Amino acid sequence: SQKIEQNSEALNIQEGKTATLTCNYTNYSPAYLQWYRQDPGRGPVFLLLIRENEKEKRKERLKVTFDTTLKQSLFHITASQPADSATYLCALDTGTASKLTFGTGTRLQVTL
Amino acid sequence: DGGITQSPKYLFRKEGQNVTLSCEQNLNHDAMYWYRQDPGQGLRLIYYSQIVNDFQKGDIAEGYSVSREKKESFPLTVTSAQKNPTAFYLCASTTQRGAGNEQFFGPGTRLTVL
């Protein structure tokens, strides 16, 4: 069966450290993988998209990697800040009708 | 300002009642989507529409209905047939130009069945 797995346990890190979140999937062949941020009680906000033929994508303090052999994406936030505390969702896009299939999300807590 | 709006923010429904959630966008996007989110869960797709007057069922369409009479609007009706309607409902839209496009989300409607 198809599955998208993100670490269901919250990730707690200290300010200034690098946060690394994992997204693993099975029985999918995504053309694209997207990462979103969601704050409590709000809609998700798009952060980054990476294509199947790209290994890495960066945007400011954010970096995403995509390994289609391992069926895994890693999402990194460098020099993390308390304002980065949120739930981060990965989403697979198989390229059909721009439909996305979301993981359950990982809650990140950055402390001083 | 361009964006996507949902109303109401909070909605209470008695068992057996149908309720309609509003979703409007002024981004000129062709595609619109409805998702449901339960506590600690990811988003699950209810319905989506790629063009006016056309829509398709998502993964959990039972107990829901939609219409797409205008490009800007994609209302969702939660019918009495939906057994567990209490959830956070999110509407999204995206352009259909090219592929791999980000989705823009509304602020959500939290529905509670009393």
Residue B100 reports pLDDT greater than 90? no
Residue A24's pLDDT band (boundaries 50, 70, 90)?
very high
| B107 part of contact set with chain A, CB < 8 Å | yes
CB contact under 8 A, B99 and A31: yes
Q: Is the pLDDT of residue B91 over 70?
A: yes
* Subunit contact A42:B107, Cβ cutoff 8 A: yes
* Disruptive mutation site among B33, B43, B49, B88 for chain A (greatest number of A CBs within 10 Å): B43
B96 touches chain A (CB under 8 A): yes
Whether pLDDT at B67 is above 90: yes
A32 close to B (CB below 8 A): yes
Q: Is B90 on the interface with A (CB under 8 A)?
A: yes
CA dist A69 and B64 (Å) reads 38
B87 closest CA partner among B65, B64, B112, B107: B112
Start-to-end Cα distance in chain B: 36
pLDDT reading at A42 higher than 70: yes
Q: What is the pLDDT of residue A95?
A: 74
Mean pLDDT of B34-44: 92
Query: Is residue B6 predicted with pLDDT exceeding 80?
Result: yes
